[in-house]
């Protein structure tokens, strides 16, 4: 039972929760992108590919310009570009949105490896210098609060940005006219169209936003946390974000809670040198937690009514 | 309509992917008997900065020394191994090299189908589906004593810690492995064994990231160890392990690289444990060119310069340098034997 006491002991350290929040934010950004996209009625499983593309171009730009802010912008644009492909294919051409998403994920994995070989040859992708990484900033004053200061106010800039984006997403979706329109388009596009809402414009905007957010997460991964690009470095986070979105019933707050659970599992797993239990067993923890929570607490998760259905103007 | 368009798109994407996958291109020049050497990577791909890349380096060196014709195929999934190996074998290549433990079974299968073609496999043997060595007479296994390399960097860490020349000096060092498999654990075994030999009171923490590609995961594990007092961190996790080097750098501590010399990866890298896959690949090719191919295991260690260490961004005190030489000589002479299993 030493493992249990080890974990309990860990739960009372600020380090653990600091790591939990950072790991959660990596998932939260693409999850929020997914929420926005699916609320507008476009199924989006391409977050993994958009994130990977963002990570790659973020590193390329940062190595070229030595400017993490500009590189983050490039990463977001790269993600948005991938999202635009998804939007054109699924909104304009009404293709199956799952297939389009899978195609983008596979394409992104191949494209980035191909470009790594093209740009950097078979050598290392360069390492981004410490000074050119997206900075960690301690919020003056607040970072001195015992425990919470370390968890909430000694973080990467992207973490603060993500928390602001979380609140914004919630407010926009549920408290503004735009949010109402997005949700209307996702629930009943025919009705929304009749009411004078431009269904295509709303859906394009939502899907591209998901690309921007996934790209931002890719930038955090590659030029915030790591200082280089490694093929397939996103390691399935886009899919976990997808799970978080469903787990959170397509709401920003719910997705955030799901991301925190996954993040906590990762943070606990990270301490497997100290916890005396098989690392394999430990790595199951977040998924085990998810199953328990899904079965016992969350209950039925219902997607937006028109999610995944292409809109054909004039159709019934 | 929409579905037709979609299908076209899917096919186009698939074609593009395949076109990208077929990166290898045969090349060569004139000469007398030109040996044809084929190299098949595992899923890590050529720019894994680790053994696939080093195998390629060895191949290129052999190409310039022996004027061989070389061809490389990258595998993108476990299902590619057999077709990729078969492709070279059916074209009567003189030697087909499989890179990595993951290709054991594929090499076992294909070498049985083509008994007249020579095969070499790095980090493994030609096995059946249960992992049993089939001992085909046309297969050479290239193994490494990673524990030799691990021991050398363990000496450095142990002595720095004992002399109070590390950064925190709490008597704690650590290693981050990718997955708990033999080649990874050999490194860690040598490291822990040698560090303990130099500083009997030292605590060596061992963690695993369960990953070989994602630096963020390894960084997390490294941070956990740093919080627990570790001030020298050894990465044994390929691309993932770059996160270890960086975590150490951010915390102002020391780190140790693996497989290749990782001096440039981060200023915190004080040494690297080397597994000279390039030497092994080159040797295997040389044997074929000279008509000295032998089946069975060929082991690379400190004794034959197939494993070793590099001192990187730190000038070691004279006594540590002397101890390194002593330990290296003893391992060479066989009077010291680093263990293969983590003590």
CATH of the domain at A186: 1.10.3470
Q: Which domain holds residue A44?
A: 2-298
pLDDT (mean) for B247-256: 95
Measured CA to CA, the distance from residue B98 to residue B106 in angstroms comes to 9
Which of B16, B43, B222, B224 should we substitute to test contact with A (largest number of A Cβ atoms within 10 Å)? B224
Q: Are B336 and B330 in contact (CB under 8 A)?
A: yes
Contacts of B265 in chain A (CB under 8 A): 124, 127, 228
pLDDT band at residue B19 using 50, 70 and 90 as cut-offs:
very low
Measured CA to CA, the distance from residue B273 to residue A200 in angstroms comes to 57
DSSP per position, A173-241 = HHHSHHHHHHHHHHH-HHHHHHTT--HHHHHHHHHHHHHHHHHHHHHHIIIII-SS--TTTTTTHHHHH
CATH architecture of B33-144+278-303: 3-Layer(aba) Sandwich (3.40)
CB contact under 8 A, B213 and A279: no
Measured CA to CA, the distance from residue A14 to residue A19 in angstroms comes to 9
CB contact under 8 A, A114 and B20: yes
pLDDT band at residue A245 using 50, 70 and 90 as cut-offs:
very high
CB contact under 8 A, B227 and A221: no
Q: B110-117 long-range contacts, Cβ below 8 Å, gap at least 24? A: B110/B82, B110/B85, B110/B86, B111/B136, B111/B138, B111/B139, B112/B136, B113/B86, B113/B89, B114/B86, B114/B89, B114/B90, B114/B138, B117/B88, B117/B89, B117/B92, B117/B93
Tokens standing for residue A130: 């410490």
pLDDT at position A76? 98
**Cα angle: A252, vertex A256, A260; to 5 degrees:** 175
pLDDT band at residue A1 using 50, 70 and 90 as cut-offs:
low
Distance of CA B122 to the CA centre of its chain: 9
pLDDT at position B77? 79
pLDDT at position A47? 97
CB contact under 8 A, B223 and A19: yes
CB contact under 8 A, A230 and B210: no
CB contact under 8 A, B208 and A279: yes
Minimum-distance CB partner of B2 among A93, A116, A225: A93
Whether A101 maps to a domain, the answer reads: yes
Number of structural domains found in chain A: 1
pLDDT above 50 for B324: yes
pLDDT at position B59? 95
Q: Measure A175 CA to nearest chain B CA, in Å.
A: 36
pLDDT at position B12? 52
CB contact under 8 A, A274 and B224: yes
Whether A274 maps to a domain, the answer reads: yes
Whether A53 maps to a domain, the answer reads: yes
pLDDT (mean) for A116-120: 86
The pLDDT > 70 percentage for chain B reads 90
Q: What is the pLDDT of residues A59-90, one digit of tens each?
A: 999 999 999 999 999 999 999 999 999 999 99
The residue extents of the domains of chain B are 33-144+278-303, 146-275+313-333
CB contact under 8 A, B47 and A233: no
Q: Tell whether B13 is within 8 A of chain A (Cβ).
A: yes
**Cα angle: B148, vertex B81, B17; to 5 degrees:** 115
Tokens standing for residue B300: 């690379």
Q: Are A209 and A33 in contact (CB under 8 A)?
A: yes
Sign of CA dihedral B63, B271, B51, B308: positive
| Shared fold status for B33-144+278-303 and B146-275+313-333 | yes
CB contact under 8 A, B23 and A117: yes
Residue in chain A lying closest to B222 (CA): A270
Whether A308 maps to a domain, the answer reads: no
Q: Measure A174 CA to nearest chain B CA, in Å.
A: 33
pLDDT band at residue A167 using 50, 70 and 90 as cut-offs:
very high
Q: Are B255 and B232 in contact (CB under 8 A)?
A: yes
CATH of domain B146-275+313-333: 3.40.50.2300
- A127/A141: higher pLDDT: A141
Distance of CA A168 to the CA centre of its chain: 15
pLDDT (mean) for B122-142: 92
pLDDT band at residue A129 using 50, 70 and 90 as cut-offs:
confident
Q: Are B213 and B240 in contact (CB under 8 A)?
A: yes
Whether A168 maps to a domain, the answer reads: yes
Name, in order, each residue with C-beta under 8 angstroms of A256's C-beta and a sequence gap of 6 or more.
A24, A28, A31, A166, A248
3-state secondary structure of A39: helix
Q: Tell whether B54 is within 8 A of chain A (Cβ).
A: no
What is the pTM assigned to this prediction? Answer: 0.84
Contacts of A82 in chain B (CB under 8 A): none
pLDDT at position A292? 79
Whether A304 maps to a domain, the answer reads: no
Contacts of B243 in chain A (CB under 8 A): 225-226
Q: E strands, A81-196, where?
A: 136-138, 154-156
H/E stretch holding B167 reads none
Contacts of B49 in chain A (CB under 8 A): 124
Lowest mean pLDDT among A11-15, A162-166, A206-210, A212-216: A11-15
Which residues, in sequence order, are bridge partners of residue B256? B234, B271
């Amino acid at each position: 039972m030493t493992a249990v006491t080890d974990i309990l002991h860990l739960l009372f350290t600020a380090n653990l929760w600091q790591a939990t929040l950072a790991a959660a934010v990596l998932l939260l950004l693409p999850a929020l992108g997914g929420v926005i996209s699916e609320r507008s009625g476009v199924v989006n499983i391409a977050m993994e590919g958009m994130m990977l593309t963002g990570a790659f171009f973020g590193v390329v730009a940062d190595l070229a310009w030595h400017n993490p802010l500009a590189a983050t912008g490039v990463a977001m644009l790269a993600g948005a570009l991938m999202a635009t492909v998804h939007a054109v294919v699924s909104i304009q051409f009404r293709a199956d949105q799952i297939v389009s998403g899978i195609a983008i994920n596979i394409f992104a994995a191949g494209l980035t490896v191909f470009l790594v070989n093209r740009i950097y040859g078979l050598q290392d992708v360069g390492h981004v210098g410490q000074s050119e990484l997206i900075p960690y900033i301690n919020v003056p004053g607040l970072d001195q609060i015992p425990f919470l200061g370390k968890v909430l106010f000694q973080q990467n800039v992207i973490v603060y940005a993500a928390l602001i984006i979380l609140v914004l997403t919630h407010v926009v979706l549920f408290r503004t006219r735009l949010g109402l329109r997005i949700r209307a388009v996702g629930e009943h596009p025919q009705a929304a169209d009749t009411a004078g809402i431009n269904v295509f414009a709303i859906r394009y905007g939502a899907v591209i936003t998901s690309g921007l957010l996934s790209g931002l997460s890719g930038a955090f991964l590659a030029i915030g946390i790591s200082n280089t690009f490694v093929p397939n470095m996103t390691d399935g986070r886009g899919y976990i974000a997808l799970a978080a979105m469903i787990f959170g019933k397509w709401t920003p707050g719910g997705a955030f809670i799901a991301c925190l659970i996954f993040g906590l599992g990762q943070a606990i797993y990270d301490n497997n040198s100290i916890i005396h239990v098989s690392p394999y067993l430990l790595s199951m923890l977040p998924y085990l937690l998810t199953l328990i929570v899904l079965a016992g607490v969350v209950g039925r998760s219902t997607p937006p009514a028109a999610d995944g259905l292409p809109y054909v103007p004039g159709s019934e | 309509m929409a579905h037709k368009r979609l299908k076209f798109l899917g096919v186009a994407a698939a074609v593009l992917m395949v076109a990208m996958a077929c990166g290898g291109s045969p090349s060569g020049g004139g000469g007398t008997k030109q040996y044809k050497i084929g190299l098949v990577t595992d899923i890590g791909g050529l720019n894994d900065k680790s053994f696939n890349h080093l195998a390629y380096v060895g191949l290129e060196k052999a190409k310039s020394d022996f004027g061989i014709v070389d061809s490389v195929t990258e595998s993108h999934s476990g299902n590619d191994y057999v077709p990729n190996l078969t492709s070279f074998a059916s074209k009567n290549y003189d030697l087909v090299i499989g890179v990595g433990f993951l290709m054991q079974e594929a090499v076992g299968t294909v070498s049985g189908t083509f008994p007249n073609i020579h095969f070499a496999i790095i980090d493994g043997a030609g096995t059946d589906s249960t992992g049993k060595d089939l001992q085909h007479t046309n297969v050479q296994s290239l193994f490494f004593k990673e524990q030799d390399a691990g021991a050398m960097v363990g000496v450095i860490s142990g002595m720095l810690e004992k002399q109070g020349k590390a950064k925190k000096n709490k008597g704690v060092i650590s290693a981050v492995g990718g997955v708990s498999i033999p080649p990874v654990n050999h490194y860690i075994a040598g490291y822990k064994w040698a560090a303990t030999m130099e500083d009997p009171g030292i605590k060596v923490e061992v963690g695993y990231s369960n990953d070989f590609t994602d630096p963020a995961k390894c960084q997390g594990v490294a941070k956990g160890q740093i919080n627990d007092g570790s001030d020298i961190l050894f990465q044994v996790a390929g691309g993932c392990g770059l996160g270890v080097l960086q975590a150490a750098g951010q915390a102002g501590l020391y780190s140790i690289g693996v497989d290749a010399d990782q001096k440039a990866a981060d200023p915190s890298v004080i040494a690297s444990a080397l597994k000279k896959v390039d030497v092994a690949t080159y040797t295997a090719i040389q044997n074929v060119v000279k008509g000295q191919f032998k089946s069975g295991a060929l082991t690379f260690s400190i004794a034959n310069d197939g494993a070793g260490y590099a001192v990187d961004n730190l000038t070691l005190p004279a006594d540590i340098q002397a101890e390194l030489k002593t330990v290296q000589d003893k391992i060479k002479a066989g009077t010291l034997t680093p263990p293969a299993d983590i003590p």
